[in-house]
Chain A
Amino acid sequence: MAEGDREPLAGAGTLREALRALLPPTKEELTLQLGERVERSVVRLLQEAVELFCGGRGGECLQASEAILDYSWEKLNTGPWRDVHRDWRRVYAFGCLLKAVCLCEEPGDAGAVAAALRVCDMGLLMGAAILGDILTKVAAVLQAHLPSGKRPAPGPAQEQPHEKKARHDRVWIPDVRSERTVPRLRCPSLQHFRKHFLVPGRPVILEGVADQWPCMKKWSLEYIQDVAGCRTVPVEVGSRYTDEEWSQTLMTVNEFISKYIRDEPRDVGYLAQHQLFDQIPELKRDISIPDYCCLGDGDEEEITINAWFGPQGTVSPLHQDPQQNFLVQVTGRKYIRLYSPQESEALYPHDTHLLHNTSQVDVENPDLEKFPKFAEAPFLSCILSPGEILFIPVKYWHYVRALDLSFSVSFWWS
């Protein structure tokens, strides 16, 4: 791997051609239509950057792209995320596009391609779709052109179960038989599901619905690394998001796996609540949208699909979400506890605006002196296993702890 870093990339010419082929052929088409929000000076700089790019002045284009990225980044960080104007995200994505392509213009070293891929991923994470979702295509081309040294070889097959064994004695597996469990159904009809669970807002585990999805057989650590290893993703570090030391950071999937999954990690790292399947469409082919989602009001495009990938021990504190949720378990098991929205008072939500949907109570270790009503609040629980889907009704409080190395996919719909 070391020698691959410094040698000029064989086939750099083909990379350039492949990237050029993705870009619109004319200057006019390589321009964003932007509204009034984006100031004239920025529009001017964008035009200048495109001129420089088309004029073959890659170094100067790179400089202009950096300025575009830095300025739009500030806009992305001003005000709440949902209020950030889409045009600023498009500007940011455009800056990423130019930067990524300029980085690959020179037949430089392999590090340039990895850097360009990282830039694409930043554009996908924080930007908005531009030019027919071009960043996804550019990322795929870059990924294919990474030297083989950068893509990790699949590890030894025994690694996963071996790791499970070593940790098994330290996991506290709740005895769910002593708790009220979530009912289970095998492939209920749409009508049955709607009448008995969706409308009244009752949780249920659906069996036999997702168990044949390709992901159930295909998704191993090796496969994930092969498909997505070099891609940059957001990772949460810290035992739970209500902790003071909790933070988010960005790293490649490979880094995440080596730092937080293999090798006795020091901290808990969790690739949580990330729309991985928008970023890496290849993975999306391994999953489907549960049919029951058609009972909702929205379009299929409005369904938010999140990946939840992490080691044993990741915890999501008790919280509620404003949409219906199908939580599909792919690898590993999760202990999940559910409280009805009617019990909200006994769950002591934070009174701050930021955390008003999160309970103050640590579910598996509650401070009953501080939160006395919690002890009496009724709940349902389960251990969700691979192939099963848990339906979490809108606003239903849920607490999740991974009992094993786990990969889940959630579908938020309305």
Chain B
Amino acid sequence: MAEERRGSWFGFGFCGFGQALGSGRGRQVHSPEPLQTPGEGEGADVCRVSASWSYTAFVTRGGRLELSGSAGCAAGGCRDAWASEALLVVLRAGPGRGSGTELQAWAPGSALSGEPLWAHTVGPEAEGEDAPGGEPQAGALPLLPGGRAYVSPRPPFYSPLAPELRARRLELGAEHALLLDEAGQVFSWGQGRHGQLGHGTLEAELEPRPLEALQGVPMAEVAAGGWHSVCVSETGDIYIWGWNESGQLALPSRSLAEVGKTAAGEASGLKEDGCDVRTAEDAVKASCGSRHTAVVTRTGELYTWGWGKYGQLGHKDTSSLDRPRRVEYFVDRRLQSFLFSTDQSNQKVIWPGRKKNQYIFLKGKYTHFNLFLRIYLYFKNRTCIRLSSMADTDQIHAGEF
């Protein structure tokens, strides 16, 4: 039954740095456990969670930022936070309306004391993005409010976006970026060696390039894993492409086949046609770990697949999967309606290195573009899932491992 309270957060996966994940015992949590949010305890009004590999950032509706894990601190006046290993980026509200918002980048261990590594004032036009109730719209980072620029953990830290892009959402992978515009068109750029850009080649793209194969299908969501990409259409279909080394595309993965874990028939490399697995309901949210995927359906069910070594799939074991599987924990408790914040991780057998300028090999093992009307989910090493009776704002972030 739907409850009227705001909702609880649950987490599972890697927690080797003592991040507030479930019981906090041991280095891994294999099945969802209620999140111990630091400071105010359970029921703290957390509206945004950004998970990096070794620490997690929580932002409450009251603007309070809490860090848990390898970095720990608390600070006020934060509208949004984005956690990565190299950098913690926060959006801090000015003292009053009209005084502007400041984007700050901190070293995660700095506890937000002293001076930020850099700071950038976000223009007042961004203030207009607030919801009618005056509540700041959390959860757009790494895209800045106003959609004119984005942050990344690697130089250049602050990158402007062409205004004609009308960016609505932006997600960063290990070496690529995905952008969703107001019209539902998906763009991608960055490295393409694993097919993660979806343009049908392995070439890199320097500037945002629209995905021609998806034109005409308005998308509602995008998510980026380390080396793969997902988007959800307005009608609830999921499209996915990129590296499949751990089954994160929900396609038969050769490396999983080698250890006898693939469920489907013969493992193959390039595959243009769809795969037979589907989930019963439409998808509404997707989120990616570096090497796994998660999707939530309209009826509030959570499906996960891909890399599972740290229990990040939430199926009470450490197997990787190349087919979507429902996380039964939530079904058993009849909890509905999820939001996500997930984190990254990856795996493959292939050896990465030809050095210097020797002839560069062409990988035949990946699936470089697949159109799927299926649900594919990726989780990174850790997944925090919020359960709520109301599916309010969309918050899907790709953190780091």
A residues lining the B interface (CB < 8 Å): 39-42, 44-45, 63-64, 67, 70-71, 73-74, 76-82, 84, 125-126, 234, 236, 238, 241-250, 273, 304, 319, 321-323, 352-355, 357-358
Hey, which chain B residues are within 8 Å of A78, CB to CB? Answer: 174-175, 226
| Closest chain B residue, CB of each to CB of A232 | B351
| Closest chain A residue, CB of each to CB of B173 | A78
- 15 more contacts with CB within 8 A, not counting A82-B356, A241-B359, A354-B203, are A41-B108, A45-B54, A64-B16, A67-B16, A77-B174, A77-B227, A81-B353, A81-B354, A125-B351, A238-B364, A243-B364, A244-B269, A248-B351, A273-B354, A357-B359
The CA-CA distance from A7 to B360 in the complex, in Å, is: 44
Hey, which chain B residues are within 8 Å of A82, CB to CB? Answer: 355-356
The CA-CA distance from A38 to B357 in the complex, in Å, is: 26
| Closest chain A residue, CB of each to CB of B357 | A322
Known contacts A41-B17, A41-B53; decide if A321 and B364 are in contact (CB<8 Å).
no
Known contacts A81-B353, A248-B361; decide if A74 and B14 are in contact (CB<8 Å).
no
Hey, which chain B residues are within 8 Å of A79, CB to CB? Answer: 175, 191
Hey, which chain A residues are within 8 Å of B202, CB to CB? Answer: 352, 354
Q: Is B309 engaged at the interface, CB distance under 8 Å to the other chain?
A: yes
What does the 1/0 interface line of B335-360 toward A look like (CB < 8 Å)?
Answer: 00000000011111111111111111
| Closest chain B residue, CB of each to CB of A322 | B357
Closest CB-CB distance, B351 to chain A, in whole Å? Answer: 5
The residue that B14 contacts in the complex, of A67, A80, A236, A248, with Cβ under 8 A, is A67
**Cβ-defined contact, B174 with A355, below 8 A:** no
The CA-CA distance from A354 to B193 in the complex, in Å, is: 9
**Cβ-defined contact, B357 with A321, below 8 A:** yes
The CA-CA distance from A40 to B106 in the complex, in Å, is: 13
Pairs A–B under 8 Å by Cβ, sample size 12: A40-B108, A41-B54, A44-B54, A45-B16, A70-B346, A71-B401, A76-B353, A81-B354, A273-B354, A319-B359, A355-B362, A357-B359
Known contacts A41-B17, A41-B53, A248-B361; decide if A77 and B348 are in contact (CB<8 Å).
yes
Hey, which chain B residues are within 8 Å of A236, CB to CB? Answer: 361
The CA-CA distance from A74 to B175 in the complex, in Å, is: 11
Closest CB-CB distance, A146 to chain B, in whole Å? Answer: 23
Closest CB-CB distance, B228 to chain A, in whole Å? Answer: 12
The residue that B270 contacts in the complex, of A125, A244, A352, A358, with Cβ under 8 A, is A244
What does the 1/0 interface line of B288-316 toward A look like (CB < 8 Å)?
Answer: 00100000000000000000010000000
Closest CB-CB distance, A73 to chain B, in whole Å? Answer: 7
The size class of the interface chain B forms with chain A is 35 or more
The CA-CA distance from A358 to B358 in the complex, in Å, is: 10
Hey, which chain B residues are within 8 Å of A323, CB to CB? Answer: 356
Hey, which chain A residues are within 8 Å of B85, CB to CB? Answer: 39, 41-42
| Closest chain B residue, CB of each to CB of A235 | B351
Q: Is B204 engaged at the interface, CB distance under 8 Å to the other chain?
A: yes
Closest CB-CB distance, A245 to chain B, in whole Å? Answer: 5
Hey, which chain A residues are within 8 Å of B226, CB to CB? Answer: 74, 77-78
Hey, which chain A residues are within 8 Å of B353, CB to CB? Answer: 76, 81, 125-126
| Closest chain B residue, CB of each to CB of A246 | B364
Hey, which chain B residues are within 8 Å of A126, CB to CB? Answer: 351-353
The CA-CA distance from A245 to B270 in the complex, in Å, is: 8
Closest CB-CB distance, A271 to chain B, in whole Å? Answer: 12
Pairs A-B, 3 closest by C-beta atoms: A41-B54, A39-B85, A41-B70
Interface centre among A39, A81, A238, A352, by most chain B C-beta atoms within 10 angstroms, is: A39
**Cβ-defined contact, B347 with A73, below 8 A:** yes
The CA-CA distance from A76 to B346 in the complex, in Å, is: 11
**Cβ-defined contact, A247 with B359, below 8 A:** no
Q: Is B27 engaged at the interface, CB distance under 8 Å to the other chain?
A: yes
**Cβ-defined contact, A353 with B53, below 8 A:** no
The residue that B401 contacts in the complex, of A63, A70, A248, with Cβ under 8 A, is A70
The CA-CA distance from A413 to B186 in the complex, in Å, is: 46
**Cβ-defined contact, A41 with B55, below 8 A:** yes
Interface centre among A42, A73, A78, by most chain B C-beta atoms within 10 angstroms, is: A78
**Cβ-defined contact, B401 with A353, below 8 A:** no
The CA-CA distance from A80 to B203 in the complex, in Å, is: 12
Hey, which chain B residues are within 8 Å of A354, CB to CB? Answer: 193, 202-203, 360, 362
Interface centre among A80, A234, A323, by most chain B C-beta atoms within 10 angstroms, is: A80
The residue that B361 contacts in the complex, of A41, A64, A125, A241, with Cβ under 8 A, is A241
Hey, which chain B residues are within 8 Å of A74, CB to CB? Answer: 174, 226, 290, 344-346, 401
The CA-CA distance from A246 to B352 in the complex, in Å, is: 15
Closest CB-CB distance, A66 to chain B, in whole Å? Answer: 8
Hey, which chain B residues are within 8 Å of A42, CB to CB? Answer: 85
Q: Is B334 engaged at the interface, CB distance under 8 Å to the other chain?
A: no
Hey, which chain B residues are within 8 Å of A244, CB to CB? Answer: 269-270, 362, 364
The CA-CA distance from A267 to B143 in the complex, in Å, is: 48
The CA-CA distance from A298 to B59 in the complex, in Å, is: 56
Q: Is B34 engaged at the interface, CB distance under 8 Å to the other chain?
A: no
**Cβ-defined contact, B351 with A70, below 8 A:** no
Q: Is B120 engaged at the interface, CB distance under 8 Å to the other chain?
A: no
**Cβ-defined contact, A247 with B174, below 8 A:** no
**Cβ-defined contact, B86 with A39, below 8 A:** yes
Hey, which chain B residues are within 8 Å of A40, CB to CB? Answer: 70, 107-109
The CA-CA distance from A275 to B4 in the complex, in Å, is: 63
Q: Which of B1-52 contact A (CB under 8 A)?
A: 14, 16-17, 27
The CA-CA distance from A241 to B345 in the complex, in Å, is: 28
Q: Is B159 engaged at the interface, CB distance under 8 Å to the other chain?
A: no
Closest CB-CB distance, B342 to chain A, in whole Å? Answer: 15
Q: Is B199 engaged at the interface, CB distance under 8 Å to the other chain?
A: no
What does the 1/0 interface line of B173-205 toward A look like (CB < 8 Å)?
Answer: 011000000000000000101000000011110
Hey, which chain A residues are within 8 Å of B107, CB to CB? Answer: 40
The residue that B269 contacts in the complex, of A45, A80, A245, with Cβ under 8 A, is A245
Closest CB-CB distance, A287 to chain B, in whole Å? Answer: 20
| Closest chain B residue, CB of each to CB of A63 | B27
**Cβ-defined contact, B357 with A352, below 8 A:** no
**Cβ-defined contact, B365 with A247, below 8 A:** yes
**Cβ-defined contact, A353 with B351, below 8 A:** no
Closest CB-CB distance, A259 to chain B, in whole Å? Answer: 13
**Cβ-defined contact, A81 with B355, below 8 A:** yes
Known contacts A241-B362, A322-B356; decide if A247 and B269 are in contact (CB<8 Å).
yes
The CA-CA distance from A322 to B357 in the complex, in Å, is: 7
**Cβ-defined contact, A247 with B350, below 8 A:** yes
Hey, which chain A residues are within 8 Å of B354, CB to CB? Answer: 81, 273
What does the 1/0 interface line of B268-297 toward A look like (CB < 8 Å)?
Answer: 011000000000000000000010000000
| Closest chain B residue, CB of each to CB of A41 | B54
The CA-CA distance from A44 to B85 in the complex, in Å, is: 12
The CA-CA distance from A71 to B226 in the complex, in Å, is: 12
Hey, which chain B residues are within 8 Å of A81, CB to CB? Answer: 352-355
| Closest chain B residue, CB of each to CB of A236 | B361
The residue that B53 contacts in the complex, of A71, A125, A322, A355, with Cβ under 8 A, is A71
Hey, which chain B residues are within 8 Å of A246, CB to CB? Answer: 361-362, 364
| Closest chain A residue, CB of each to CB of B191 | A79
Hey, which chain B residues are within 8 Å of A304, CB to CB? Answer: 355-356
**Cβ-defined contact, B346 with A77, below 8 A:** yes
The CA-CA distance from A168 to B352 in the complex, in Å, is: 36
